[in-house]
Amino acid sequence: MGNGDKGITRRGFVAGAGAAAVGLGLAGCAAEQKGEDTNLASTSPEKVAYDPNAGEWIPTVCNMCFNNCSIKAHVVDGVVVELTGNPDGIGSGHICAKGAAGIMTLYDPNRLTKPLRRTNPKKGLDEDPGWEEISWDEAWNEIMTNIGKVAAENPMAVGGASMVSTLNGSVQRSVALACAFGGGQGLLSDICGAGIHVIENMFTGTGNSMPDYQYCRYVIQFGTQAGTATRHGFNMTADRFADLRANEGLRLVSFDPHMSAGAEKADLWVPIRPGSDAAAALAMANVLVEKDLIDRDYLCERTNAPALVDPATKRILRAEGSNKALFWDESAGAAKPYDECAKPALEGDFEVNGVKCRTAFSIYKDHIASMTPEWAEEITTVPAATLRQVAEEFGTVAASGDTIELDGKTFRHRPVAVDLFSGISRHKHAILSTWSCLMLNLLVGAANSVGGFLGYAPRNHGWIEGNPQAGYDIGIWEEDGFIVGNSFFNATPVSFYDLIRNNDYTPVDMTLAQLQPLSEDGHFVHVAQSDPDRYHTTPIKALFWYGCNPLKWWGNWEEQAKVLLDMDYIVGCDISLNETSYFSDLMIPEACYLERYDALPHWFLNHRQPGGLNVPWTVEFWQPVVEAKDGAPGYMDIWGELVWRAGEQSNAAFIGALNAMYRLKEEYQLPLNERLDPERFVDSIFKSFIDEEHGIDWFREHGVYTRERKVDEVYIWDNDTAGRIPFYWDFMLEAKEKVDAKVAELGIPWESDDYIPLPEWRPGVDFYPKDDPAFDIFPVYYTNAQNTDSWLHQNPWINEVNEEDGVTYMLEMNTATAAAKGLASGDEIRLTSTAGYSVEGKLVVSDGVHPECVSGVVGTWDGQSQKMAIAQGKGSNLVSLIPGTTAERMDHLVSAFDQLVRVKVEKIA
């Protein structure tokens, strides 16, 4: 029953699991025989070979993607025979295909469970590493010696890499390497929303935002499938979104080049040319302003749209002393600081102290005047009539709300939202595109309004009455009244305005983050690593990668192979021997997620747990449900061992950092002179954030702790609450001045043209054809519900679904386009990008893809590791078509990676 057996099926595994539990009353259908006391939705629709009432149901957390839903494992005689959703926890009792298939990851016979040392010095996918098993002591001695040697010469030459699937492990990895070796840098994958998180933080106080799944009635989605198939917390919102649509008539409009699950379920699918979403959004903004379908009161009260701007300098006029933005007060006939202005003028031309000025909104109105639906049609291929229709529907529904009373307070009610995610962000000009789309929420007054566009969790009073240890709140940037949100993980304030004002701007590592004050992502490291002389940076020479596959997660894999071959020493830690292991000197295992602890998997509940009324704060317990195979360690054991071997000072620094990062109360803090104890650590977190009674023993029995959310934890703006959102981005001009000065001083080539005060559409590198007209197709990738953010390409159950659906492993092309090229379903085709990189695959034709595109599911497809037999050769890795080390493809504001590339399509004879 192994993953090495390509013929294994779900049915075959169930029979095998049952055989391991012989004598336990083998009978019955799990769905029929579960008692009411378990209250679990079965994931086994067939007859199964085990007794569902035998053994025990152990609560824990899923890690088959990074959403980390609450689950229960059915364990019989030390064997996991079923996984199901936990109705008391995160995910509302739902479990998706990935979650149910986790059992196959646990029992994969090809799992790495013991340390392996390379004996063949030659590296490459066509080389057998000649692995030999060694002891853990030998492995640790090699790690400390070889990485220590590099660190002794330059600590910044030590690097780490990890994946979003294990966020705690990734964060602790970076801290542990820094504490053990005195420095270090990180390679980061592109699986994130560079640009999106920044603007959503500015607009809602949280780096992830959502439609109000309680009161929304009209949703426009750009490049996301939130609530239908994928996105942060989609399994936690699918039922809420479905109920809104079925019972309240919510209308869903999806802008997407491919009819993936979100578009398939939409009321209106709008196939759009990739990389042009901003143009569509700006054209709809043009219609909203032209038709006066905007919320003028909101713009005056909740944005800086009334700010007075000097057209000559494009800078906002400010009060002497306080530096606060000046508005024109119509009641006083004079300019006043925004917080003293009784009746702001939204439009108009004025003169202040001899300076002729205009309101920011007047400048914006002129700015978008030429961005008509007809203008956008040429760029997007979306008919102008469609853009007008959607804009007018959106504005009309927004105006249907007025105010609403909740918990004795009055809130603005705007039942519409524009939502988006990585389909927008994985392009150059990511900030401008995200900003253009989300600005629609501001125009109609929907951001932070009931029914509108909300942060996942902008405010938290703590997880229990009287203990605010886990709590946080938004702040205010006084000069403009802008809200200041909190970070994803430890929920501490992140003021991009303060970073722009007080940042040193001198880069300290290959992320060049100091040159990107609006960025939360360090993806520029991929470019700097390949050309460190250009950026005056230290390249990574010793790499410790964890739970990921650096060879195949960023652009063309052959480019990444050269990067890895240039390193002196590489150690990998994973559950499988994937492609990057072929370039590694040492491989050590990590326990499967069902065999280990995790510390606070959802951190402070503001990143992957979508909030809203009637969605309680939910704290879950991630614990091992079976013993780890061959004693494989969990990530906390690994990082704890690393710093322990590095010495007392390193261990104390690491433990001290964990105490601070996780906000442990003094009485529960871990001792600095002891090795990290995962159980004690988890216990300390629970007791710090809740109370003495709710420690690890309480969670072992109950699994999940909840507290109902307060109204003001969901909706931050009642009529008496301060706070604004930036409409006109004056701070961008300040950032540009400082970035330009610093790169000139350092002699670093850099792009700063996107630091502008109002959004606009700009094309990516390959948006327009350059030389050969044969390169006329855009490859685009998408995610589906069973393939995202994890190790699924090697899972036999998921593979079975992928093989049988007839699409996932295929390349999909528009029916008419294929016919024009003489292609048909079943043809073998080759895609060659303008960079000269090629991938091959089997074609399937449909009407569910834009005529200028070919699409495929994203993943580390086309596996080449001999130790991952199921993944071998499956699917087409579209990302490998893209140059990954070219600075021209990087957004220099937030390190977004421009993945828009043109290809020519050829039939393989």
The Cα angle at residue 231 between residues 705 and 732, in degrees rounded to 5: 105
Residue 91: pLDDT above 80? Answer: yes
Mean pLDDT over 128-141 rounds to 98
- As given in the structure block, the two tokens for residue 849 are 């893809």
pLDDT of res. 665: 98
Handedness of CA 782, 786, 787, 793 (dihedral sign): negative
Query: Do 204 and 453 form a contact (C-beta atoms < 8 A)?
Result: yes
Residue 357: pLDDT above 80? Answer: yes
**Can you tell me the distance from the alpha carbon of 452 to that of 480, in angstroms, rounded to the nearest whole number?**
23
- Residue 270's pLDDT band, with cuts at 50, 70 and 90, is very high
Query: Do 600 and 687 form a contact (C-beta atoms < 8 A)?
Result: no
Residue 662: pLDDT above 90? Answer: yes
Residue 382: pLDDT above 80? Answer: yes
Q: Classify 280 as helix, strand or coil.
A: helix
Query: Do 316 and 307 form a contact (C-beta atoms < 8 A)?
Result: yes
pLDDT tens, residue by residue, 793-824: 789 999 999 999 899 999 999 999 999 999 99
**Can you tell me the distance from the alpha carbon of 789 to that of 549, in angstroms, rounded to the nearest whole number?**
12
For residues 415-440, b (16+ Cβ closer than 10 Å) or e, as one string? bbbbbbbbbbbbbbbbbbbbbbbbbb
Residue 22: pLDDT above 50? Answer: no
Residue 144: pLDDT above 90? Answer: yes
Mean pLDDT over 123-145 rounds to 97
Q: Classify 523 as helix, strand or coil.
A: coil
Of the candidate ranges 71-85, 140-154, 572-586, 788-802, the one whose mean pLDDT is the lowest: 788-802
DSSP 478-517: TTTTEEE-B-SSS--B--HHHHHHH------STT-GGG-T
pLDDT of res. 45: 44
User: Where do we find the tokens 């600081």?
Assistant: 337
pLDDT tens, residue by residue, 383-437: 999 999 999 999 999 999 899 999 999 999 999 999 999 888 889 999 999 999 9
pLDDT of res. 36: 38
Strand 56-61: give its sheet, edge to edge: 56-61, 70-76, 79-85
Distant-in-sequence, close-in-space partners of 597: CB < 8 Å, separation ≥ 6: 622, 623, 624, 634, 636, 678, 679, 682
Of the candidate ranges 286-295, 580-589, 706-715, 784-793, the one whose mean pLDDT is the lowest: 784-793
CB atoms within 10 A of CB 616: 15
Regarding predicted confidence, which is higher, 228 or 85? 85
pLDDT of res. 791: 62
Q: Classify 262 as helix, strand or coil.
A: helix
Residue 12: pLDDT above 50? Answer: no
**Can you tell me the distance from the alpha carbon of 194 to that of 425, in angstroms, rounded to the nearest whole number?**
6
pLDDT tens, residue by residue, 274-294: 999 999 999 999 999 999 999
**Can you tell me the distance from the alpha carbon of 72 to that of 388, in angstroms, rounded to the nearest whole number?**
48
Of the candidate ranges 148-157, 175-184, 518-527, the one whose mean pLDDT is the lowest: 518-527
- As given in the structure block, the two tokens for residue 560 are 């990444």
In whole angstroms, how large is the CA radius of gyration of the chain?
27
| AA identity, residue 279 | A
**Can you tell me the distance from the alpha carbon of 239 to that of 245, in angstroms, rounded to the nearest whole number?**
10
pLDDT of res. 44: 42
Residue 553: pLDDT above 90? Answer: no
Strand 218-222 and strand 251-255: pairing?
A: parallel
- Residue 783's pLDDT band, with cuts at 50, 70 and 90, is confident
Query: How many residues are there in the chain?
Result: 909
pLDDT of res. 52: 78
**Can you tell me the distance from the alpha carbon of 503 to that of 888, in angstroms, rounded to the nearest whole number?**
25
CB atoms within 10 A of CB 65: 26
Q: What is the 3 state secondary structure string of 608-668? A: CCCCCCCCCEEEECCCCCCCCHHHCCCHHHHHHHHHHHHCHHHHHHHHHHHHHHCCCCHHH
pLDDT tens, residue by residue, 831-879: 999 999 999 999 999 999 999 999 998 877 888 999 998 888 899 999 9
Predicted TM-score (pTM) of the model is 0.94
pLDDT of res. 592: 96
Name the burial class of residue 310, with classes exposed (0-12), middle (13-18) and buried (19+) by CB atoms within 10 angstroms of its CB.
Answer: middle
Nearest Cα to Cα of residue 302 among 716, 908, 808: 716
Residue 14: pLDDT above 80? Answer: no
- Residue 20's pLDDT band, with cuts at 50, 70 and 90, is very low
- Residue 191's pLDDT band, with cuts at 50, 70 and 90, is low
The Cα angle at residue 132 between residues 126 and 133, in degrees rounded to 5: 135
Nearest Cα to Cα of residue 904 among 859, 848, 839: 839
Distant-in-sequence, close-in-space partners of 706: CB < 8 Å, separation ≥ 6: 88, 616, 617, 618, 619
**Can you tell me the distance from the alpha carbon of 259 to that of 426, in angstroms, rounded to the nearest whole number?**
18
Query: Do 526 and 555 form a contact (C-beta atoms < 8 A)?
Result: yes
The Cα angle at residue 610 between residues 607 and 612, in degrees rounded to 5: 135
User: Where do we find the tokens 């962000």?
Assistant: 425
- As given in the structure block, the two tokens for residue 768 are 């327009």
- As given in the structure block, the two tokens for residue 476 are 């205010």
Percent of the chain with pLDDT over 90: 81
Residue 17: pLDDT above 70? Answer: no
DSSP 115-149: -EE------STTS----EE--HHHHHHHHHHHHHH
Distant-in-sequence, close-in-space partners of 507: CB < 8 Å, separation ≥ 6: 513, 514, 515, 535, 536, 537, 746, 748
Of the candidate ranges 190-199, 617-626, 739-748, the one whose mean pLDDT is the lowest: 190-199
845 forms bridges with which residues in the sheet?
813
